[in-house]
Amino acid sequence: MDREIMISANGITKTFGTGEGKVTAVDDVSIEIYKGEFVAVTGESGSGKSTLLNLLGGLDKPCKGSITVGGREITKLKDSKLAQYRRRYSGFVFQFYNLISVLNVEENLSLPLDLDGRNTDKARLDELLEILKLSDKRYCYASQLSGGQQQRVAIGRAVIAQPPCIFADEPTGNLDSANSREIVSLFKRLIEKYGTTIVLVTHDANVAAEADRVIRMSDGRIIDEKVIRL
């Protein structure tokens, strides 16, 4: 049975600067990522992995090439439509949790829906808090949470609107090994429960080894792919 392609990039290139200062961050990259797949992108600093993640997630636009997500080409969207696409179809998790300090856990989780003018489904919120193991922390503020708990809130905020894709840039970079394993386990549970597609950038070989497929980049190009599990 053929697998459904969720993300397809065709010949995408992204450059920064001009003249002698011009840098090619992503260089003619083509890739397909399947629905419900957990893909880790690795490589040395400056290899282009974070730029690739930003392009696939619609945070930036390529200079050349096309990107299609869920059958919709996002590279042709105007900025307002692209922003709407990001709110509804992509969730983002970063190394720094970026929680709003004056909001509690429940309010931070609901923020993407509030910004999109949508109501929060209480049953879904309760379910998500349970999955995140944060039910007893729902009224706590960021300053009252550990690093691992804050990152779980950030992940919950990324998935509250049920986007088909999650893009995570070094989400375990500030965490110890125990919390890193917990975050990876959480990502896998989201895939199992909701069929979420996850693209994760990491320097951590242990985190990458938990993915379905590992893509290694260097000088803006994909130089190696390893399927770990189907």
CATH 3.40.50.300 correct for 35-56+90-227 = yes
Q: What angle do CA 132, 135, 137 make, to 5 degrees?
A: 100
Q: Where are the alpha helices (DSSP H) in the chain?
A: 49-56, 79-89, 105-115, 122-131, 147-159, 177-194, 205-208
Structure tokens at 183: 């975050």
Can you give the pLDDT at residue 168?
A: 94
Distances (CA, A) of 143 to 129, 134, 160, 178, 211: 18, 15, 22, 21, 31
Q: State pTM to two decimals.
A: 0.91
pLDDT on residue 62: 95
- Token digits of residue 142: 């960021």
Q: In which residue ranges of the chain is pLDDT below 50? A: 1
Residue 19 is predicted with a pLDDT of 85
* Residues 13/24, Cβ–Cβ less than 8 Å: yes
Q: Which amino acid is at 153?
A: V
| Domain edges within the chain | 35-56+90-227
What is the pLDDT, as a whole number, of residue 86? 87
DSSP 148-210: HHHHHHHHHHHHTT--SEEEEESTTTTS-HHHHHHHHHHHHHHHHHH--EEEEE-S-HHHHTT
